Structure 1
């Protein structure tokens, strides 16, 4: 094995770790209601974001606008758990990956609990030496919505999430 092969393998490992940290920052900034940190995870300009019923966006700024309007409220208590990353370095500046997601939301105003499972299909680009998301599509696979009342818990929805409209 040549020194060049080892250097390329080390670079690929460093890139994969940087992408793992990028996705972790993204999920954490969503939970922390930090739109600036969330926006910093994406490339500037055109991106490809498809979050199904939440919406389809061609810029990170458009996603952040909806995030602020809908999600950035004290009564919306969220937890995003990304797992099972499968990251492939395509070349020196492009990568792709898939991630499982387990999402929980307590809406303290509506007294509901939502649990959503699914997976992301992501694209990444190295820009100025830093990895950024340029594509993220979410595919829901399970959804549970419960209404939490003082005397009872009622199932509002259980099954596969409805398709995007």
Structure 2
């Protein structure tokens, strides 16, 4: 790949992640799920970065989980921010990225926190789109807000 192709791939990957953030916060579940490959592996780790809080081994499994918490999601709100990103375009169809992140979640009776950490991701080009094929969310710190403990610990 030449430099222009690499830059174009990086821009497309950034756009995919921007859609991830926007669609999850707007509760546009179908559009959110369209940012992932069908064979997605998505893992959310506790603040110790060892203990899995959730793990999904396909886009459908992730969709089923989101459906199971639909009422909670619709009654709350979230704001996800991706900050600096390190993207390594491996070849014309594969890339990795590490995104600094902050998320703010308020779900009555459940999640009430501000979290800080990183998304460690793998991307794969499917047709003309770069999609997230693997995502692991790690935490540096979580500020619990009033209400129940958000992470179930």
Name the TM-score class by shorter chain: 0.7 to 0.9
Partner of 2:49: none
Which position in structure 2 is the counterpart of 1:141? 140
Q: Which whole-Å deviations, capped at 9, do the CAs of 1:102-152 have from their partners, x for residues lacking one?
A: 000122x3397411111011000111121111110011111111216xxxx
SS at match of 1:30: helix
Question: Which range is displaced more, 130-139 or 60-69?
Answer: 60-69
> Taking CA–CA contacts closer than 8 Å with sequence separation of 6 or more, which of the two structures ends up with the larger relative contact order?
2
Partner of 1:22: 16
Q: Give unpaired runs (5+ residues) of structure 1.
A: 1-6, 149-155
Other-structure match for 1:8? 2
Change (3 A) 1:12 1:22: same
Change (3 A) 1:112 1:20: closer
Which runs of 5 or more residues in structure 2 are unaligned?
Answer: 46-51
Question: What is the number of residues matched between the two proteins?
Answer: 145
CA distance in 1, matches of 2:2, 2:11: 14
Query: Aligned equivalents of 1:69 and 1:119: distance in 2?
Result: 25
CA RMSD of aligned residues (A): 2.3
- Mapping 1:1-165, distance limit 5 Å: 8-44=2-38, 46-52=39-45, 53-70=52-69, 73-107=73-107, 109-110=108-109, 113-147=112-146
Looking at structure 2, the residues matched to 131 and 144 of structure 1 have their Cα atoms a distance apart, in angstroms, of 33
TM-score w.r.t. the length of structure 1 is: 0.79
Give distance in 2, aligned partners of 1:89 and 1:77.
33
Post-superposition Cα deviations, 1:77-117, rounded to whole Å, max 9, x if no partner, equal 1000011111110001100000011000122x339741111
- 1:47 alignment partner, SS class: strand
Q: Given the two structures, how large is their TM-score scaled by the length of structure 2?
A: 0.84
Partner of 2:74, secondary structure, is coil
CA deviation map 1:44-77 (0-9, x unaligned): 2x22211125411110121122223225533211
